[in-house]
């Protein structure tokens, strides 16, 4: 690896406002920044933008931490709370005032509202007229002496503000379209653009990657960087996320909180893989990627400008792919607490029977899309006796007398086996079928219901093996008793 001086190491950040849960769109933006930092040996920082005291909550901050931790999007350095930096935002705004890059605006709120209403009535977009703020030195001195409140406005220079966006290419805004925007309100609080630029400079951010709903803020922010004498970072605006109907992703489309997916049986690596493909692709058809592969293949060149589509069906498919391919021991570590939570076993017991548990998971994971499904399908391997699904009963146990008879013979044959091995079971039961002149299915299907209560399960010999000899034989005997009683 080539040595990079520490000054060149990229520093990126995720800057959520803690006004709700961690949205999948936010998680996706966090992920792109995280991947960028991992790929280019940089730092990924987290800044909680809690300056809106009214809307920010500790609960939401906690949900952001939890969501990021679940996804494994670990951040470097201490979390930065924007609200703790208002003194610096204030000082930076005043620095701009002193340098002449900004000016005081004493216009009362009511007057601004009147002007705005007038402009609207004319069908014009309201734009603050700088001459309104012009005051003679004497007037200014007088107002300051009277402690009249004023906002600080940025004096937008002439020209064009442009940047090479990492996603969209060159973006340019004529400065004449940008109003002399407020950077410090008359109550002394900074506005969003001032706080963000002040913080991004203080944090040494080299690339700002965020949703493209922020594109219109970027020229203002670039103007602020320049006026503050700071290096302008790179910018990349990643696309919005839509539902399958092409509309902006919202609750109507289903869960939009990362936490909901965590509790719906998704693996974090599948969620990450899915999120990574919302606005990025590796440049070929590869879809299923592990986290190290995502890091390896991530590049800003693969970012798309077009809105991405959030398709929950694809997310479930992706999860199924990951369930099938992760090392089984890793899956066991994920599944053990879920199996415990379902009341089927304990983590300690599963650790003690690690190999057995991994064997069961190997059987179930190829059929499942969600961890919840694995838990459901794992039940027959844990419970003492199973419940019979009425549909399975009416389908496979229609003739109770004949079925109990065949199950009884099946139990006897299995009980006589020397080794509890799939190969021996199969041989024994196929022989039984032959002797009776029936197909193997006529034995295996009723047996499946006896062992699992269901019509679908992993291969019957695998089920026998993992349910175990004693429990299997007992279950078959129970089924026989049940059927005899019902005739
Ligand atoms: N707090 C802003 C948001 O949640 C992000 C600002 C930024 O990334 O610059 O949309």
Backbone angles phi, psi at 160, to 5 degrees: -130, 140
Residues 343 and 441 in one domain: no
- Going from the Cα of 332 to the center of ligand 1, the distance in angstroms, rounded, reads 37
For residues 169 and 193, state if they share a domain. Answer: yes
Atom nearest to 14 CA in ligand 1:
8
Q: Cα 116 vs. chain centroid, distance in angstroms?
A: 41
Distance 136 CA to ligand 1 centre (A): 39
Same domain, 356 and 395: no
Same domain? For 124 and 175 the reply is yes
Examine the fold and report which residue of 183, 207, 236 is the final residue of a domain before the chain moves on: 236
For residue 149, being part of any structural domain is answered with: yes
Give yes or no for a contact between 205 and 102, defined as CB atoms under 8 angstroms apart: no
> How remote is the CA of residue 251 from the centroid of ligand 1, in Å?
20
User: Is any ligand 1 atom within 6 A of the Cβ of residue 101?
Assistant: no
Is position 109 within any domain? yes
Give pLDDT, residue 7: 54
CATH number assigned to the domain comprising residue 209: 3.40.50.620
Query: Is the domain of 100 the same as that of 189?
Result: yes
Residues 102 and 182 in one domain: yes
Single residue among 199, 218, 236 that ends a domain in this structure: 236
Note whether residue 291 is domain-resident: no
Active-site residue numbers? 251
Rounded to the nearest whole angstrom, what is the distance from the C-alpha of residue 17 to the centroid of ligand 1? 7
The answer on 167 and 89 residing in a single domain is yes
What is the model's pTM? 0.88
Same domain, 367 and 400: no
CA atoms within 13 A on the CB side of 457: 28
At 125 the pLDDT is 87
Task: Name the residue of 45, 52, 214, 240 to mutate for ligand 1: max ligand atoms within 8 A of Cβ.
Answer: 214
Query: Same domain for 189 and 107?
Result: yes
Q: Please enumerate in sequence order all residues whose Cβ is within 8 A of that of 408, keeping only pairs 6 or more positions apart, or say none.
A: 476, 480
**What residues of the chain score a pLDDT lower than 50?**
1-5
Rounded to whole angstroms, how far apart are CA atoms 14 and 30?
5
**Cβ–ligand 1 contact at 210 (below 6 Å):** yes
Own/partner pairs for 175-178, CB < 8 Å, 24+ apart?
175/219, 175/223, 178/219, 178/220, 178/223
Q: Whose CA is nearest to atom 7 of ligand 1?
A: 15
The alpha carbon of 435 and the centre of ligand 1 are apart by a number of angstroms equal to 73
- What are the distances in angstroms from CA 117 to CA 109, 113, 131, 180? 12, 6, 19, 18
Q: Which atom of ligand 1 is nearest to the CA of 213?
A: 10
d(CA 93, CA 246): 41
**Ligand 1 centroid – CA 15 distance (Å):** 5
Is 214 near ligand 1, meaning CB less than 6 Å away? Answer: yes
> Residue 210 C-alpha to ligand 1 middle, in angstroms?
7
Q: Does residue 68 fall inside a structural domain? A: no
Residue 267 falls inside a structural domain: no
pLDDT for the residue numbered 3: 47
pLDDT at 255: 84
> In whole angstroms, what separates CA 421 from the centre of its chain?
43
CA-proximal residue: ligand 1, atom 5 (nearest)? 15
The verdict on 377 and 396 lying in the same domain is no
Domain assignment present for 306 = no
**Pocket lining: 13 vs ligand 1, CB cutoff 6 Å:** no
339 and 396 share a domain?
no
The answer to whether the beta carbons of residues 233 and 200 sit under 8 Å apart is yes
Determine whether the shortest distance from the Cβ of 80 to ligand 1 is under 6 A: no
pLDDT tens profile 163-199: 999 999 999 999 999 999 999 999 999 999 999 999 9
Cα–Cα distance for residue pair 222/237, rounded to 1 Å: 14
Residue 104 lies in a domain: yes
Cβ–ligand 1 distance for 15 under 6 Å, the answer yes
Q: Calculate the alpha carbon distances from 200 to 46, 437, 463 in Å.
A: 11, 79, 58
Instruction: Give how many domains the chain has, as a whole number.
Output: 3
In a domain, 210, yes or no: yes
Ramachandran angles phi, psi of 11, nearest 5°: -130, 115
What residue numbers bound the domain in which 208 lies? 85-236
Closest of 297, 298, 232, 236 to residue 36, by C-alpha: 298
23 Cβ below 6 A of ligand 1: no
Q: pLDDT tens, 228-261?
A: 999 999 999 999 999 999 999 888 888 889 999 9
**Closest atom of ligand 1 to CA, residue 217:** 9
Q: Please choose, from the candidates 380, 349, 374, the residue with its C-alpha nearest in 3D space to the C-alpha of residue 475.
A: 380
Among 184, 210, 236, the domain-final residue is 236
**Do residues 471 and 345 share a domain?**
no
Helix (H), strand (E), coil (C) string for the chain: CCCCCHHHCCEEEECCCCCCCCEHHHHHHHHHHHHHHHHCCCEEEEEECCCCCCCCCHHHHHHHHHHHHHHCCCCCCCCEEHHHHHHHHHHHHHHHHHHCCEEEECCCHHHHHHHHHHHHHHCCCCCCCHHHHCCCHHHHHHHHHCCCCCEEEECCCCCEEEEEECCCEEEEEEHHHCCCCEEECCCCCECHHHHHHHHHHHCCCCEEEEEHHHHHHHHHHHHHHHHCCCCCCEEEEECCEECCCCCECCHHHCCCEHHHHHCCCCCHHHHHHHHHCCCECCCCCCCCCCHHHHHHHCCHHHECCCCEECCHHHHHHHHHHHHHHCCHHHHHHHHHHHHHHCCCCCHHHHHHCHHHHHHHHHHHHCCCCCHHHHHHHHHHHHCCCCCCCHHHHHHHCCCHHHHHHHHHHHHHHHHCCCCCCHHHHHHHHHHHHHHHCCCCHHHHHHHHHHHHCCCCCCCHHHHHHHHCHHHHHHHHHHHHHHHHHHC
Query: 17 CB under 6 A from ligand 1?
Result: yes
Q: Which of 17, 217, 233 to mutate to test the pocket of ligand 1 (most atoms within 8 A of CB)?
A: 17
30 Cα: distance to centroid of ligand 1 (angstroms):
11
Q: Is the CB of 277 under 6 A from ligand 1?
A: no
Give the position, in ligand 1's atom list, of the atom nearest the Cα of 16.
4
């Amino acid at each position: 690896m080539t040595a990079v001086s520490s000054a060149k190491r990229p520093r990126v950040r995720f800057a959520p406002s803690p006004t709700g849960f961690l949205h999948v769109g936010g998680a996706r933006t966090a992920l792109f920044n995280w991947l960028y930092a991992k790929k280019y040996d940089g730092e990924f920082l987290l800044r909680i933008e809690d300056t809106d005291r009214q809307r920010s909550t500790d609960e939401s901050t906690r949900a952001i931490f939890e969501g990021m931790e679940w996804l494994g999007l670990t951040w470097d350095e201490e979390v930065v709370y924007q609200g703790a930096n208002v003194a610096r935002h204030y000082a930076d705004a005043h620095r701009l005032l002193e340098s002449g890059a900004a000016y005081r605006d004493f216009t009362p709120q009511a007057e601004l509202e009147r002007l705005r209403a007038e402009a609207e009535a004319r069908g014009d977009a309201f734009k603050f007229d700088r001459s309104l703020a012009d005051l003679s030195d004497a007037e200014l001195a007088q107002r300051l002496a009277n402690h009249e409140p004023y906002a600080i406005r940025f004096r937008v220079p002439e020209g064009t503000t442009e940047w090479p966006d990492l996603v969209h290419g060159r973006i340019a805004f004529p400065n004449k379209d940008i109003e002399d925007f407020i950077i410090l309100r008359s109550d002394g609080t900074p506005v969003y653009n001032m706080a963000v630029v002040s913080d991004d400079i203080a944090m040494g951010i080299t690339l700002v990657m965020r949703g493209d709903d922020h594109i219109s803020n970027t020229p203002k922010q670039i103007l602020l960087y320049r006026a503050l004498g700071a290096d302008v970072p790179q910018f990349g605006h990643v696309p919005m996320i839509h539902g399958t109907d092409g509309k902006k992703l919202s609750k109507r489309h289903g869960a939009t909180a990362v936490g909901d997916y965590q509790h719906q049986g998704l693996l974090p690596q599948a969620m990450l893989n899915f999120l990574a493909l919302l606005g990025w692709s590796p440049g070929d058809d590869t879809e299923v990627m592990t986290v190290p592969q995502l890091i390896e293949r991530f590049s800003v060149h693969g970012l798309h400008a077009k809105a991405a589509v959030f398709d929950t069906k694809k997310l479930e498919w992706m999860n199924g792919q990951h369930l099938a391919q992760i090392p089984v021991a890793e899956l066991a570590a994920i599944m053990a607490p879920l199996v415990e939570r379902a009341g089927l076993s304990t983590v300690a017991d599963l650790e003690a029977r690690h190999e057995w548990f991994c064997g069961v998971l190997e059987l179930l994971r190829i059929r499942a899309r969600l961890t919840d499904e694995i838990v459901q399908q794992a039940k027959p391997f844990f419970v003492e006796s199973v419940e019979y699904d009425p549909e399975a009963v009416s389908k496979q146990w229609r003739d109770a007398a004949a079925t109990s008879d065949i199950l009884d013979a099946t139990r006897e044959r299995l009980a006589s086996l020397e080794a509890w091995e799939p190969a021996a079971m199969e041989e024994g039961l196929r022989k039984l079928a032959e002797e009776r002149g029936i197909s193997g299915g006529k034995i295996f299907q009723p047996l499946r219901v006896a062992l699992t209560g269901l019509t679908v399960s992993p291969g019957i010999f695998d089920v026998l093996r993992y349910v175990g000899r004693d429990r299997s034989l007992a279950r078959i005997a129970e089924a026989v008793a049940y059927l005899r009683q019902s005739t």
